Structure 1
Amino acid sequence: MKFLKLSLTILFLLVCQYSRAQNKKKATYPDYLQPAHAINTVTMVMVHDVVSPPVAARYYAYCTLGAYDIVSVNNKKIPALSTFINNYPGNSSLANANVNYDYKIAAYYSILETAKLLLPSDFMLKDNEDAFIELLQKTKVPEDIITNSVKVAENASAAIVAFSKKDHYSQLSALKRYTPIKDESKWYPTPPMYMEAVEPNWKTIRTLVIDSATQYKPKPLIPFNKDTTSEFYGQAKAVYDASKNLSPEQINQALFWDCNPFAVTTSGHMAIGYKKISPGGHWMHIACLVAQKANLGFDESVMVIALNGTTLMDAFVSCWEEKFTSNRIRPETFINRFIDVKWQPTLQTPPFPEYTSGHAVISNASAELLTYLLGDNFAYTDNTEIPFGSGQRDFKSFRQAAAEASLSRFYGGIHYMQSIQNGNDQGKNLAAGIINKIKKAGIIPLYKK
């Protein structure tokens, strides 16, 4: 437990150090109230729990919605959740809270509290809550303010968790599990662990902003065909050929955007697992980073992070609906069967069907949302992967980052080019729908053109 607190403290100090280096003006709230710190805390627990990508996106969304709810009650420039979240009834008790509290403390605490109520390792979040309260006490925040703020946070979190229980997540375990189909065009478990399919029924999850899992369907698949003159064979051969001629830069891109919570390496009879951040986690950390770089206030930072989490959740539902509908075979399986039995991709193939590329869908969805909120040509250095074993990369815009993230899956040998291109469009179309809805709700860009 001491190691956990020490690790989180070090990570927090790094985040604060980066924030101070990037911003000439001081933040208008204490460093310990940076929303990025709360998100980092939640991420570390999810990495510990090896949470799958779609489930991680769901947790990020709900963990930030309670904080958004508190902020919107206290800042009338921030539209209420009910104006864009489907069927969210609102939390009238927040608006009528007749106590003296610090809404920023409450919003921050709500992120931890909601995570504690949702994540398996809830005890880890309890430790972080206790450490946060100790920090408030050490900085001489009045005890009644702390107590009241925690009560408001617990109220907001309870309402969000109650809302989350209606999204069908609790029913997934009772649904039929995926059984590989005896059809050579369909997905089949891949080396080295041949893991079963991840969340094959995720399409049943209720969406937050978009209408349904099927609202943003991608273009139709190229028909499966193992004939060497066919278009599909050409797609697989392109992956194979590219893997033989990757430049160091292309390999670096593939590794930087790996984000595989399931990474396993084998040595003889021994298998070693590596815990990594999820794709959605990577984009949540990007949102935190750029909110700090843009020197946004607390309220606007919470809004950006919550909208990003919401977009990621819907993007995963949309993508997973297509994955288990088309059930497309992975390049590794096709190449091993019909081109080169000994071939291995640069990255480990994730345990779910190929089409469309999850990185393409969610990266473009997140990039379009952040572009709307913070502008195009927003340059930043992405150092969010350093704690998880990767370096840093410079980007001139969110769209450039999304394009690189998408193409990295081709370099990694785990997606066909069609899946990347159509996944890009799917993510952009989904984001356009979300942006249109939040525009109508009154959420405007945070930059001046």
Structure 2
Amino acid sequence: MKNIFFILLLTVLAGGCSKDKPLVISSEDYHSSVGRLTDVMVHDIFSPPVASRVYAYSNIAAYEVIAQGSERFTSLSEEFEELKKIPKADSTKQINLRLAAVVAQMEIGKKLIFSEESISTFHDSLSGVWKKQNEEEFFDSQEYGKAVAAVISEWMDKDNYKETRTMPKFSVYSEDPSRWQPTPPAYMDGIEPHWAKIRPFIMDSASQFKPAPHPDFSLQKDTNFYKELIEVYNVKNNMAETGDASEEMKMARFWDCNPYVSTTRGHLMFATKKITPGGHWIGICKIACQKNNLDFEETVYAYTTTSIAMADAFISTWDEKYRSELIRPETLINKYIDENWKPVLQTPPFPEYPSGHSVVSGAAATILTRLFGDLTFDDDTEVKYGLPVRSFASFNQAAEEAAMSRLYGGIHFRSAIEKGLEQGKAIGAYVVDDLEVKSLY
């Protein structure tokens, strides 16, 4: 009897000390990792196009890991000629592909942001838990995730981003009355004037989805351009009469997504930090993933396809912005109509045409509709930035509202909004076809 009891005791003790159980990595772990990257980019004040690059490469790193062990998802190295195949996971080691995917995502993210310590601290907090569960599996998986990140990093470094850092700034001097000029209150230089030189992911070139031209610049009252200018002026004035409670005002503020809003108090100027347009749609992607109870692999796939479409959308948008170099409504209204007029939103520091929100929202909504169908959802992405939840019947409805918010905000002409939305949907459809994006619902 004593021998039996002793054997049972040893069994219990051995089980309690065992570290042979495989690590359990959930889709929520991945959501948390992407969320931390978003928080760091808000802190570091990343511009919208640069943020889109961070989302794309970090998610692709994770995707390449999970694609290796999947019968459903295939490596993007078959799509991107310059992307080498990642090394195969060593079958003699205890490699958890999900953990390796999180590591690869964080390693690439850490290379692309400024506040590396924040990502490292987050990684260390997770590592402490995972190491206690299965130390050998943790270290084997971490080593493999870093090896994958090295391959992605090598490919990433050849996209011409570094070269654009040394290219000349946008010259603001011009006698052309239609050409963009810096806007108040900070009068910042035009950001990322060479973004069209970044290597696209799926598009053949930055100009592949060049939008139809905007109306010819004219200050004659019977022209389409002037009519659009007066529309911006009147819409804002009408909203001012109804106050902050108007639906148009709520839309404008909800979709502001300006990562750097300059605020002046006397002689002091400081920045109010917010999420980027791409970051907002990444938040919507998370909502859709959670509502559909996607597993880890499906979650990574959703983030990756959405990120790729948005990254190409920003390249396409910036290509046209710095080709047309169109002036903003605020500049013209202040000079020719009403010097005291101010838009609801702060005008972003780059040319007007097309609306970046419209292009990116159209692209993201097209991808998400393919992934999830016409999903109804409550968008709480902006709650942490002091804005209430808004509800949508579909991704396309959200994209249309995001686009129109730029008119209500007083920062875009109607043509930039409507043509931009068409441009974005075309980019999204192209990505869906080229990558053969799968339905997840």
TM-score by length of 2: 0.91
Which range moves more in the overlay, 49-58 or 30-39? 30-39
Secondary structure of 1:274 counterpart: strand
Residue 437 of structure 1 aligns to which amino acid in structure 2? D
User: Which residue is 2:212 aligned to?
Assistant: 219
Secondary structure of 1:263 counterpart: strand
User: Which residue is 2:142 aligned to?
Assistant: 150
Equivalent residues in 2 for 1:61-80, closer than 5 Å: 61-80=56-75
Q: Deviations over 1:272-321 (max 9, x none)?
A: 21011111011111111211111111100000001111111110000000
Residue 355 of structure 1 aligns to which amino acid in structure 2? Y
Match of 1:400 among 384, 392, 397: 397
Equivalent pair of 1:364/1:427 in contact (CA under 8 Å):
yes
User: Which residue is 2:361 aligned to?
Assistant: 363
Equivalent pair of 2:84/2:151 in contact (CA under 8 Å):
no
Equivalent pair of 1:86/1:208 in contact (CA under 8 Å):
no
Shift of 1:381: 0.5
Equivalent residues in 2 for 1:236-251, closer than 5 Å: 236-246=229-239, 248-251=246-249
Equivalent pair of 2:321/2:354 in contact (CA under 8 Å):
yes
Equivalent pair of 1:33/1:105 in contact (CA under 8 Å):
no
Shift of 1:117: 1.7
Which range moves more in the overlay, 286-295 or 98-107? 98-107
Shift of 1:430: 0.7
Shift of 1:96: 5.1
**d(CA) in 2 for partners of 1:234, 1:192:** 26
Residue 39 of structure 1 aligns to which amino acid in structure 2? V
Shift of 1:385: 1.1
Residue 252 of structure 2 aligns to which amino acid in structure 1? A
Shift of 1:128: 1.2
**d(CA) in 1 for partners of 2:378, 2:204:** 34
User: Which residue is 1:306 aligned to?
Assistant: 304
Shift of 1:76: 2.0
User: Which residue is 1:417 aligned to?
Assistant: 414
**d(CA) in 2 for partners of 1:33, 1:152:** 21
**Change in CA separation of 1:64 and 1:32 when aligned onto 2, cut-off 3 Å:** closer
Residue 178 of structure 2 aligns to which amino acid in structure 1? S
Q: Deviations over 1:4-63 (max 9, x none)?
A: xxxxxxxxxxxxxxxxxxxxxxxx965585321111100111111101000000000011
**d(CA) in 1 for partners of 2:60, 2:27:** 20
Structure 2 gaps of 5+ residues are 1-22
User: Which residue is 2:20 aligned to?
Assistant: none
Q: Deviations over 1:422-444 (max 9, x none)?
A: 001100111111111011xxx42
Secondary structure of 1:371 counterpart: helix
User: Which residue is 1:178 aligned to?
Assistant: 170
**d(CA) in 1 for partners of 2:261, 2:65:** 37
**d(CA) in 2 for partners of 1:446, 1:327:** 40
Shift of 1:184: 1.1
Secondary structure of 2:238 counterpart: coil
Secondary structure of 2:391 counterpart: strand
Equivalent residues in 2 for 1:163-202, closer than 5 Å: 163-182=155-174, 183-202=176-195
Secondary structure of 2:270 counterpart: strand
User: Which residue is 1:435 aligned to?
Assistant: 432
User: Which residue is 2:251 aligned to?
Assistant: 253
Secondary structure of 1:271 counterpart: strand
Equivalent pair of 2:27/2:295 in contact (CA under 8 Å):
no
Q: Deviations over 1:356-400 (max 9, x none)?
A: 000000001000000011112x01100011112221100110000
**d(CA) in 2 for partners of 1:328, 1:214:** 17
**d(CA) in 1 for partners of 2:93, 2:386:** 45
**Change in CA separation of 1:103 and 1:33 when aligned onto 2, cut-off 3 Å:** farther
Shift of 1:156: 1.3
- Are 1:50 and 2:45 counterparts? yes
User: Which residue is 2:385 aligned to?
Assistant: 388
Equivalent residues in 2 for 1:259-274, closer than 5 Å: 259-274=257-272
**d(CA) in 2 for partners of 1:163, 1:58:** 13
- Percent identity reads 38
**d(CA) in 2 for partners of 1:86, 1:393:** 41
Shift of 1:83: 3.0
Secondary structure of 1:94 counterpart: coil
**d(CA) in 2 for partners of 1:419, 1:96:** 51
**d(CA) in 2 for partners of 1:66, 1:166:** 15
**Change in CA separation of 1:33 and 1:238 when aligned onto 2, cut-off 3 Å:** closer
Equivalent pair of 2:107/2:146 in contact (CA under 8 Å):
yes
Equivalent pair of 2:26/2:295 in contact (CA under 8 Å):
no
Q: Deviations over 1:395-422 (max 9, x none)?
A: 1100000000000000000000000000
**d(CA) in 2 for partners of 1:86, 1:220:** 33
Residue 116 of structure 1 aligns to which amino acid in structure 2? K
Shift of 1:339: 1.0
Equivalent pair of 1:35/1:108 in contact (CA under 8 Å):
yes
TM-score by length of 1: 0.89
Residue 265 of structure 1 aligns to which amino acid in structure 2? T
**d(CA) in 1 for partners of 2:286, 2:83:** 25
Equivalent pair of 1:36/1:289 in contact (CA under 8 Å):
no
**Change in CA separation of 1:59 and 1:111 when aligned onto 2, cut-off 3 Å:** same
Residue 420 of structure 2 aligns to which amino acid in structure 1? G
**Change in CA separation of 1:71 and 1:411 when aligned onto 2, cut-off 3 Å:** same
Secondary structure of 1:367 counterpart: helix
Equivalent pair of 2:52/2:278 in contact (CA under 8 Å):
yes
User: Which residue is 2:101 aligned to?
Assistant: 107
Residue 344 of structure 1 aligns to which amino acid in structure 2? K
**d(CA) in 1 for partners of 2:120, 2:49:** 24
Shift of 1:86: 4.9
**d(CA) in 1 for partners of 2:386, 2:231:** 29
**d(CA) in 1 for partners of 2:36, 2:373:** 28
